[in-house]
């Protein structure tokens, strides 16, 4: 892996610019743009990507979920096809440093350093000894609604879910004071899957969390189809004003999704080191 040494600000710019590029083409990265049957994006060793990397890789539109570096392709006896464009992924590297304290003692300080490296999808490569990773989504053999129900049932300390008829203009909400989610009736949704995507949003209080959980369950969220252009423009304005928003927000959403799924992972900042 080539260890690029841009500043943290430059890494935010590089990754955010790729997301902006996709959104300006009309794509919403957190709308599950990948095939749920084969699972979320992962590296050639089978390790699933996390945080913002899920969205930036998933948004590239490839059928294969497998990614690798230029060097990995070469070491495996293959190569990246001529003219193919790489995609950046982010990882956090923990560095240690000894510091002398005022009393003369030595303490060891650890601080995170953000880096990025470039990867290519399996479809961008040729002459590799592998065609696809045989790891699939844990819910690939279940229908989306059944998978969503399983996710909800397994959530630790899940808030109470109340279904009430909502008049037009009254949105669903989460009450932090009483710890419950107030949802419209399922019958008020033209598609049942959209009821679950809204519930995932309320449970995680984030579009990223909802998108991630919908991806795991295999739900295609169609709520934004009618107002997609306005939705994208509102996000683009916010993202361009704050280049840290996507990376920081995706990291927090990953933690929320992990909690909902009762997943125990190593810290997010270590998850992308290759």
Residue 1 lies in a domain: no
| Domain, as residue range, for 93 | 8-270
Residue 87 lies in a domain: yes
Residue 3 lies in a domain: no
75-128 pLDDT tens trace: 999 999 999 999 999 987 777 788 888 888 888 887 777 888 899 999 999 999
Residue 207 lies in a domain: yes
Residue 37 lies in a domain: yes
165-195 pLDDT tens trace: 999 888 999 999 999 999 999 999 988 998 9
Residue 99 lies in a domain: yes
Residue 141 lies in a domain: yes
Residue 203 lies in a domain: yes
As for how many domains the chain has, the answer is: 1
238-260 pLDDT tens trace: 999 998 888 888 888 888 999 99
Strands 180-183 and 160-163: parallel
51-75 pLDDT tens trace: 899 888 988 888 888 999 999 999 9
């Amino acid at each position: 892996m080539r260890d690029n040494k841009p500043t943290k600000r430059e890494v935010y710019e590089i990754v955010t610019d790729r997301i902006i590029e996709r959104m300006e083409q009309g794509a919403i990265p957190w709308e599950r743009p990948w095939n749920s049957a084969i699972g979320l994006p992962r590296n050639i060793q089978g390790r699933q990507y996390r945080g913002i990397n899920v969205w930036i890789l998933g948004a590239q539109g490839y059928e294969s979920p497998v990614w690798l570096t230029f060097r990995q392709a070469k070491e495996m006896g293959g190569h990246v096809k001529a003219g193919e464009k790489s995609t950046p992924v982010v990882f956090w590297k923990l560095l240690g440093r000894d510091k002398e304290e005022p009393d003369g003692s030595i303490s060891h300080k650890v601080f995170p350093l953000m880096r990025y490296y470039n990867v290519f999808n399996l479809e961008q490569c040729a002459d590799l000894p592998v065609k696809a990773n045989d790891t699939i989504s844990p819910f690939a053999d279940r229908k989306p609604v059944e998978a969503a129900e399983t996710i909800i049932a397994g959530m630790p300390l899940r808030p109470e879910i109340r279904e009430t008829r909502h008049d037009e203009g009254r949105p669903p909400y989460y009450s932090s004071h009483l710890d419950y989610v107030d949802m419209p009736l399922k019958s008020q949704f033209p598609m049942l899957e959209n009821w679950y995507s809204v519930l995932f949003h309320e449970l995680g209080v984030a579009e990223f969390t909802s998108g991630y959980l919908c991806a795991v369950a295999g739900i295609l969220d169609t709520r934004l189809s009618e107002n997609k252009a306005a939705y994208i423009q509102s996000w683009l304005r916010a993202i361009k004003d704050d280049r840290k928003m996507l990376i920081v927000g995706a990291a927090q959403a990953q933690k929320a999704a992990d909690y909902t799924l009762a997943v125990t992972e190593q810290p997010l900042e270590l998850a992308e080191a290759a």
